[in-house]
Structure formats: C-alpha cells, structure tokens
Amino acid sequence: MPHDPPETESPSHGAHVGHLDDFHTPLTYWQTLEIAVRELLIEKGITTGAEIAAAIDSMDRRSPADGARLIAKAWIDDRFRRKLLADGSAAMTEFGLNPAGLRLLAVENTPGIHNVIVCTLCSCYPRNLLGLPPDWYKERAYRSRLVRTPRVVLAEFGLELPAETTVRVHDSTADMRYIVIPQRPAGTTDMTEDELAGLVTRDSMIGVSRASSPRGFRE
C-alpha cells in the first residue's frame, strides 16, 4: 500500500484517533454554570432530562427545507412574493408555517441588487425557517469582515459580483430575522414548485451564493 503513511511517523495516529479536543479541555465558567442550572432544574422537578433532550432533538431536526419551499412559492406566485416582502411572518402563516414569534423580513435579489445577511453582535438567524446556522455564520471572521469588505467575502464563497451590482448587507442587530429571496435561475420555466425548492440552497437564502441552476442547464 504505497499511499499509507508510515504509522510511527504520524503524530495524529495512535491514541488520539477519534477524540476531539474538547474532551481534553476543562469546562469553561459558562459550561459549568449551564450544567449546574440544568441539574438544579431537574432536581427541583421543573423540567426533566427527557424534556431537554426532546427540545434539543426538535432544534436539531430543523432544516432549510421550509425556507426553500417558501422561496419557491414566491418565485411562482407574484401575489405571495409581494406579501412575503411586505410582511414575512404573515406570509409564513399563510403558507402554513408557524412563525412562533419570529419577525421575518425578506429581501429580494434582482439583477442590480444583491442582499446578504449577517449578525455582527451575535448570531441571529431565522432558525424556524433555515434550521441551525452554519458554523461560519457564527464566527468572528464572517461577522466582522462581511460588513467591511462584503465583496471580498462573497468572492471567497465563489460569488463574484460585477461592480454595477449594488451589495446590500443586512446586520440583524435587533428583533428582525432575515431571509434572502435569491434570483430565480434561468432555465426553470417548466419546473414545478417542488422542483424549484430543490434549487434553493441554505447559502442562497443567507445571500452568500446564488440559487442552484437546474441539472444539465447551460447558459
């Protein structure tokens, strides 16, 4: 096997295989506090371990699929698109999704305007619609650089925008949560709403990429 590294020379092999760093670092102050509060809440009968596990499971199961269906609907139904732009949460309700307190604001990409979302203060994200945010969305690099040099950051995501396109960065500093309505790709005239939803990626709804082109489509 000529491609296998010699076992003795690789520091990453051996005892460390399968272990992540956080198993080896002490708990932070906040981690300790969280464990203490959680154990107290369970001990006093205010909640149970099963309830906490169920809540985590329900958070983890959310995905960008609902957001993608919402965008596909806006692409094929102009009345709905206008409603989504005017009152995002009301449009969610009409579509059969529960906003659950989410104040949704939709911003629309056009040939002349590209929108992209960030939360510089923390990591606000429309989790009801898009699921858990990607790790990079929460990192300081994305949060600090997107507001300063959005075009460079977007290029790093593979999205090079022409100079004549205006970039609009949206910093979710308070109560609103944002979703980008990406431009509907060319070559999709005959596609069904479900097929269109398959082209709407998580990243396109954050604004760091375009919606996917249909398979086999050439400009």
State yes or no: residue 171 binds another protein (CB under 8 A): yes
Backbone angles phi and psi of 12, in degrees to 5: -85, -10
Cα angle, residue 53 at apex, residues 51 and 58 outer, rounded to 5° = 95
Minimum distance of another protein from residue 200's CB (angstroms): 22
CA distances from 28 to 23, 35, 77, 188 (A): 12, 11, 50, 50
Is the Cβ of residue 38 or residue 148 nearer to another protein in the bound state?
148
State yes or no: residue 168 binds another protein (CB under 8 A): yes
Minimum distance of another protein from residue 112's CB (angstroms): 11
One of 174, 189, 190, 216 touching another protein (CB under 8 A): 174
From 83, 108, 78, select the one nearest 95 (Cα to Cα): 83
Minimum distance of another protein from residue 119's CB (angstroms): 10
Q: Is the dihedral of CA 191, 133, 20, 39 positive or negative?
A: negative
Is the Cβ of residue 131 or residue 150 nearer to another protein in the bound state?
150
- From 10, 63, 122, 144, active-site residue: 122
Using left for φ > 0, alpha for ψ between -120 and 50, and beta otherwise, residue 158 falls in left
The HSE-up count of residue 148 (CA atoms within 13 Å, CB side) is: 7
Computed on alpha carbons and rounded to an integer, the radius of gyration of the chain in Å comes to 22
Q: Is the dihedral of CA 155, 159, 164, 169 positive or negative?
A: negative
Is the Cβ of residue 89 or residue 188 nearer to another protein in the bound state?
89
Minimum distance of another protein from residue 94's CB (angstroms): 20
State yes or no: residue 210 binds another protein (CB under 8 A): no
State yes or no: residue 62 binds another protein (CB under 8 A): no
One of 127, 176, 212, 213 touching another protein (CB under 8 A): 176
Tell me if residue 124 is catalytic: yes
One of 99, 167, 183, 210 touching another protein (CB under 8 A): 167
State yes or no: residue 147 binds another protein (CB under 8 A): yes
Tell me if residue 172 is catalytic: no
Burial class of residue 8 (count of CB atoms within 10 Å of its CB; 0-12, 13-18, 19+): exposed
- From 89, 124, 172, 209, active-site residue: 124
Residues 67-126 contacting another protein, CB under 8 A? 103, 120-121
Tell me if residue 122 is catalytic: yes
Q: Summarize as ranges the residues that interact with another protein (CB under 8 A).
A: 103, 120-121, 147-152, 163, 166-176
